[in-house]
Structure 1
Amino acid sequence: MSPTIDSPSIAFDNSYAALPPEFYQRLPPTPVSQPELIAINEALARNLGIDADALRSPGGIRMLAGNTVPDGASPLAMAYAGHQFGNWVPQLGDGRAILLGEVIGEDGVRYDIQLKGAGPTPFSRGGDGRNWIGPVLREYVVSEAMAALGVPTTRALAAVRTGDHVMRELGPLPGAILTRVARSHVRVGTFQYFTARQNHAAVEQLLNYVIERHYPEAAQAEIPALALLDAVIDAQASLIAHWQSLGFIHGVMNTDNSSITGDTIDYGPCAFMDSFAADKVFSSIDRGARYAYQNQPRIAQWNLVNLAQCLLPLLNEDKEEAVRLAQESINRFDERFVGNYLTRMRAKLGLVGEQDEDLTLISSLLNLMQTHSLDFTLTFRQLSKRSATDPFAPGGTLHDWHRSWQQRVGDEATAQEAATRLMQNSNPVIIPRNHQVEAMIDAAVHDGNLAPFQALLQAVTSPFDPAHEESPFAAPPRPEEVVTRTFCGT
């Protein structure tokens, strides 16, 4: 690192801050006592046009901790509302996050740069506005794993310790701040915020903003609001199908955590399944299992219904016609989700082309996996890397199913080779398993040891690498390691 570098130069190009003041509250981050760098995402920094060495400098670390505001930034906390576990909350907003501004990446995409855990805001509702290190490390690892898996997601640019402690149920815990990067932080709940206040002008302004920034093709449609709704439905249907194909459970699919861009956002009590169960739920606050694995598609559609309700006045002046248009669009979610789901699950099974019985073949495998408590990730990987002891082998619990699968794939060697390649490119060896995530957090909290974090991060960001086959990170948990509950950061 060059000793002359003391602060990062960031080419901010802010658009959300140009919206009217009711969209946000302007305020700087709250400084911390002793910021210390945890990690920098060099590849992401390069795409954002930011010098990683500058981020590592004393001035860069102060910026990542919120102790200084970089030139060109326009820090603000965004306003939004939302349904939390089905209950309407008219005002939420960024209670512990500050949007510094936006940059245009090397890929031509506009990105938000946000400090998460940067202190209280007018939307904090009595909270301290801080993060402890556990949720910061979890979001860093899981969001980067999701990106490596090809799932649309927010990203982690950096993480820093604050030198301060935050109070949680477990007592005082070391504080940390995550620098999060996203294509947008606009949510379904952002539209709901203005609809609830009958601020129709703001809803239309937000619509135009989202179209211009994210869905410019919708501007040319006969009904731009309907084109936007269709585009968001497509994005969400694709996203949830991708989640389901990986055994990922978000845990808090509230409308304020439902991204307009169809990205995974807000990694709170999220988890990947080990043994498969359709009704699996991990979140300690999801007592009614509202956001269980099997419910995620239906909840996504429910969230989209709430978006559609916000857009009704912009669909047609006649309310009945507006409702009809919205309902037709919402009704297409099922077809779009199932289409995306089948595409991903066929790839996981190495199925080339489409046959009517494919859904039955997929469902029968999942049912057997649930009956025998088989590991979701490992089972699919075993299908592409056969051994004498896996459940597909003669005498194994899935052998009869495997014969049906072989008939579907075909007996020719070329067909088997094509299926194997497709499966190996579709089924990860490594996911951020819950017990490993908890172990890295424990090491950081109790020993100040970040080596497990760095090791897990390195593993999950090359999830399809066959070199990981024998890695301890590829192994499911032993019975005493199984994690049954996960917790949000607040």
Structure 2
Amino acid sequence: MSTAVGIALENGYARALPELGVPWTADPAPDAQLVLVNTGLGIDPAAVTPENLLGEGVAMAYAGHQFGNYSPRLGDGRALLLGELPDGRDLHLKGSGRTPFARGGDGKAPLGPMLREYVVSEAMHALGIPTTRSLAVLATGEPVLRERGPEPGAVLARVAASHLRVGTFQYAAATGDVALLRRLADHAIARHHPGSTDYLDFYRRVVEAQAALVARWMQVGFVHGVMNTDNTTISGETIDYGPCAFLDVYDPATVFSSIDRGGRYAFGNQPAVLQWNLARLGEALLPLIDESQDAAVERATEVVRGFTAAYDTALRAGWQAKLGLAEAPGALLDDLFAVLTEQRLDLTATMRGLAEHLRGGPAPVEGPWLARWRAEHPDPAAMDRANPVYVPRNHLVDEALTAAVAGDLEPLQWLLEVLTRPFEVRPGFERYAVPGDGTPFVTFCGT
């Protein structure tokens, strides 16, 4: 047991799986200052201090496919798992210095990207989407050098159901130690899927959780940007927000990340990519699924093929609510996607506009689709509960981050005020609901 943020932390992961981590200590910060503290996580904010955060932990080991290419040894190059909170959540640092997994990086993080993860993860939580959450952003008082020049350094403290990833299982499987792989699976089952009847059932539950997660992404126009297997969680939470962004114009081909030159992680590709990542998890689990390799492959393949149906069910259930319908939509939904794409509409504004149209407002879409939808007698009140007014508009997030890095936190605080109550119309906050002007938007990993 260790102590951080004024409370006792368990070291369950480190004890259960010492082969999958390296004990390490966060770098000291020469002039540490708290920039943001989240008071909504059940942790006493008075106990969230630099002294309590920058302590000892474990750099977690994992492998991963990055843009389809396998890397056998990735791991927490600039991060530490401090331990598990009393309620079972991980407490984790990002940007806390080089570890043995650093692979040439400096182990640091700029303030802007850490604030971005804070803002977007809190917005995702408010939207009802499973996600890691940010506890605090700490300015370190030292600059970090990046392509655009020196930037203020920072550390992000975040909580998560766990930091177990598909890449964690890939790393364990690659050792050839089946006993280690089994201990990892048992640890994951105990934390996330205690009702699992066997390892195949555990795999099925992870597939279903991730299918439901990506369906939620697609319903709000979220583009993750770096869907590597080391960024695919076993818990079914969204993790690592480096180059993420939100659609302004509905287009399945949208790519924001500067490093995704081939469009592998484009908005419309996200479900297929996630299924591919889950197939890699199935490969890692094969020794636990059946003693016969052929039988294990057959059984795992059947489970991962079930992703398609699970995703479609979750997607249509979500869109049933968003469209205010009594039954899950069929062709009506597919045709809406075509309308959104052809008319280059903003997803968020269009869905709120449809509900207002039922109350006598102008039609946000053109063509015969609108009459077909109205013939289904949609419920505008139900739509209001399912469709946010506000999502993190890329230009507004950048505007707030630029001001915050320069020392002015007020725009960021106002942005958080809006994004943490996304379904509530706020008089005077109209600009936060307006999409960008169409200027091409490019994101960076912030590493």
**How many residues are matched?**
443
Q: 1 CA distance for matches of 2:304 and 2:288?
A: 16
Equivalent residues in 2 for 1:10-21, closer than 5 Å: 10-21=7-18
The reply on whether 1:53 has 2:27 as its aligned counterpart is: no
The reply on whether 1:276 has 2:250 as its aligned counterpart is: yes
Q: 2 CA distance for matches of 1:440 and 1:483?
A: 18
Letter in 1 for 2:411: P
Counterpart selection for 1:316 from 279, 290, 298: 290
Higher alpha-carbon deviation: 136-145 or 17-26:
17-26
Letter in 2 for 1:453: L
Query: Is the 8 Å Cα contact of residues 139 and 267 (structure 1) preserved in structure 2?
Result: yes
Superposed CA offset, 1:450-483 (max 9, x none): 111111111100000022685211111234xx34
Counterpart selection for 2:306 from 321, 329, 332: 332
Shift, 1:199, TM fit: 2.2
Q: 2 CA distance for matches of 1:470 and 1:449?
A: 19
Query: Is the 8 Å Cα contact of residues 118 and 134 (structure 2) preserved in structure 1?
Result: yes
Distance 1:12 1:468, change over 3 A: farther
Q: 2 CA distance for matches of 1:309 and 1:164?
A: 43
Listed as ranges, the gaps of 5+ residues in structure 1 are: 1-6, 410-415
* 2:62 match: 80
Query: Is the 8 Å Cα contact of residues 188 and 303 (structure 1) preserved in structure 2?
Result: yes
TM-score if structure 1 supplies the norm length? 0.88
Superposed CA offset, 1:380-430 (max 9, x none): 1101122777444xxxx4252211101122xxxxxx5xx111110110000
TM-score if structure 2 supplies the norm length? 0.96
The reply on whether 1:484 has 2:431 as its aligned counterpart is: no
Classify the secondary structure of the residue corresponding to 1:11. strand
Query: Is the 8 Å Cα contact of residues 434 and 483 (structure 1) preserved in structure 2?
Result: no
The reply on whether 1:173 has 2:155 as its aligned counterpart is: no
Q: 2 CA distance for matches of 1:342 and 1:31?
A: 49
* 1:438 match: 398
Classify the secondary structure of the residue corresponding to 1:466. coil
Letter in 1 for 2:70: W
The root-mean-square deviation of aligned C-alpha atoms, in Å, is: 1.5
Q: 1 CA distance for matches of 2:332 and 2:226?
A: 30
Equivalent residues in 2 for 1:194-343, closer than 5 Å: 194-218=172-196, 221=197, 224-343=198-317
Counterpart selection for 2:73 from 80, 91, 106: 91
The higher radius of gyration belongs to: 1
* 2:25 match: 28
Counterpart selection for 2:92 from 92, 107, 114: 114
Letter in 1 for 2:206: V
Q: 2 CA distance for matches of 1:380 and 1:259?
A: 30
Classify the secondary structure of the residue corresponding to 2:7. coil
Query: Is the 8 Å Cα contact of residues 17 and 183 (structure 2) preserved in structure 1?
Result: no
Letter in 2 for 1:489: G
**% identical aligned pairs:** 46
Classify the secondary structure of the residue corresponding to 1:288. coil
The reply on whether 1:369 has 2:340 as its aligned counterpart is: yes
* 2:119 match: 141
Q: 2 CA distance for matches of 1:104 and 1:82?
A: 30
Distance 1:468 1:149, change over 3 A: farther
Shift, 1:353, TM fit: 2.1
* 1:405 match: 373
Q: 2 CA distance for matches of 1:265 and 1:302?
A: 17
Shift, 1:449, TM fit: 1.1
Query: Is the 8 Å Cα contact of residues 14 and 103 (structure 1) preserved in structure 2?
Result: no
Counterpart selection for 2:423 from 439, 444, 464: 464
Listed as ranges, the gaps of 5+ residues in structure 2 are: none
Classify the secondary structure of the residue corresponding to 2:8. coil
Query: Is the 8 Å Cα contact of residues 322 and 387 (structure 2) preserved in structure 1?
Result: yes
